[in-house]
Amino acid sequence: MRAGEPMTERKRPGESAPVVAVVAVVAGSRSDSKLIDEAARTLSEFDVPCEKRIISAHRTPEQALEFARNARSRGLKVIIAIAGKAAHLAGVISSATTLPVIGVPAKTPDLGGLDSLLSTVQMPSGVPVATVGIGSAENAALLAVAVLALSDEALASRWRDYKAKLAERVQADDLAVKKGD
């Protein structure tokens, strides 16, 4: 797959019909591909199909707006937007869609990602972007899972199981500390 080319459909093993992506993981540049892959890997663990894209709010603004305007009609339900520095991608996408947009501020060499965080989180009224921590692509994917689980009982069950396992790990760590292990 080339950068910028959508991966909207794929076949699951043993299935004949393609699966349409319900989450898009979009980054402003290829330098953020590790974050794209992290989000996609997390979504895959919950069996949530996604597409991966490279679209720049600044270098390809028309493409960003077209992508956002057509996202719902293509079957997408949540968009994760990853960007660094000025980090306008999430806001630009949110301005042109009614889908939930989750912004992931990317770490930068200049300000460590604080620039990206402030650009992503400070949206004007009427242009909502849910923002996770700097470089937190996994949390963005988990938030997308939580949103999708509201209307998908099978996914909600997997989400509850995941949360229960997190709690079990903490409880096991607590028991180990109490015992002096």
The SS3 assignment for 66 reads: helix
Please state, in angstroms and rounded to a whole number, the distance separating the CA atoms of residues 51 and 25: 6
Q: Which residue has the higher pLDDT, 13 or 60?
A: 60
User: What is the identity of the amino acid at 40?
Assistant: A
Average pLDDT over residues 175-180: 92
Res 97: pLDDT: 98
- pLDDT of 3 over the 60 cut: no
pLDDT of residue 14: 64
Mean pLDDT to the nearest integer, 14-18:
67
Q: Is the pLDDT reported for residue 11 higher than 80?
A: no
Over the chain, what is the mean pLDDT? 92
- pLDDT band per the 50, 70, 90 thresholds, residue 18: confident
19 pairs with which residues across the strands? 10
State the pLDDT at residue 9.
Answer: 44
Q: Cα(127)–Cα(27) distance, rounded to whole angstroms?
A: 19
Check residue 19 and give its pLDDT: 87
pLDDT tens figures, 45-76: 999 999 999 999 999 999 999 999 999 999 99
Whole-number percent of the chain with pLDDT over 90: 88
From residue 36, alpha-carbon distances to 15, 41, 81, 141, 178 in Å are 26, 9, 9, 10, 39
Q: pLDDT per residue over 108-144, tens digit each?
A: 999 999 999 999 999 999 999 999 999 999 999 999 9
Q: What is the mean pLDDT of residues 95-99?
A: 98
Confidence band (pLDDT; 50, 70, 90) for 32? very high
